[in-house]
């Protein structure tokens, strides 16, 4: 009776010790798995941060290109206005001095040069506008 109760207690103790070891092994396994998941998550976070950094740098570079193109476009627009004014003045001079054939020939040449320059500037403005549009998209 007492001996039997003692054997039962020892049996329960042994079974409890066995279950405790199993639980400890499971806890260790879960802790290992959690650490692996944590390491993987930290690695992914670092990777995403790196991608964000590179994208931010690309955006800064594109913004710089847009500003540079806008500056060129503004300068070309000013040049176009100046050339338009010069062309208008030349045309007025041509009207006033049409009696003088030699003078008219010289002024006509200047007008053609100004028109050629104006056409070049207009083409450049178109290219810069297209470049700005491409950079904005």
Question: Is 80 exceeded by the pLDDT of residue 104?
Answer: no
> 2: pLDDT confidence band, cut at 50, 70 and 90?
confident
Question: Is 80 exceeded by the pLDDT of residue 112?
Answer: yes
- For residue 38, CA distances in Å to 12, 28, 29, 44, 88 come to 38, 15, 14, 10, 74
pTM attached to this predicted model: 0.49
- Per the prediction, the chain carries an average pLDDT of 90
Question: Is 70 exceeded by the pLDDT of residue 62?
Answer: yes
Judge whether 128 and 74 are in contact, CB under 8 Å: no
**Which residues are within 8 A (CB) of 125 and not within 5 positions of it... i.e. 6 or more apart?**
73, 76, 77, 80
Rounded percentage of the chain residues whose pLDDT exceeds 70: 93
- Please give, one letter per residue, the 3-state secondary structure of 56-89: HHHHHHHHHHHHHHHHHHHHHHHHHHHHHHHHHH
Quick one: tokens of 90? 């030349």
For residues 38-55, give the mean pLDDT: 97
């Amino acid at each position: 009776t007492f001996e039997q109760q003692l054997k039962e207690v020892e049996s329960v103790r042994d079974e409890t010790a066995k279950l405790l070891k199993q639980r400890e092994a499971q806890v260790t396994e879960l802790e290992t798995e959690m650490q692996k998941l944590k390491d993987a998550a930290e690695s992914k976070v670092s990777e995403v941060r790196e991608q964000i950094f590179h994208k931010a740098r690309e955006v800064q570079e594109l913004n710089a290109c847009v500003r540079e193109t806008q500056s060129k476009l503004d300068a070309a627009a000013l040049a176009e206005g100046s050339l338009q004014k010069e062309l208008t003045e030349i045309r007025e001079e041509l009207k006033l001095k049409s009696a003088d054939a030699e003078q008219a020939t010289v002024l006509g040449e200047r007008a053609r040069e100004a028109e050629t320059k104006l056409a070049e500037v207009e083409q450049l403005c178109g290219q810069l506008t297209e470049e700005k549009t491409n950079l904005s998209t």
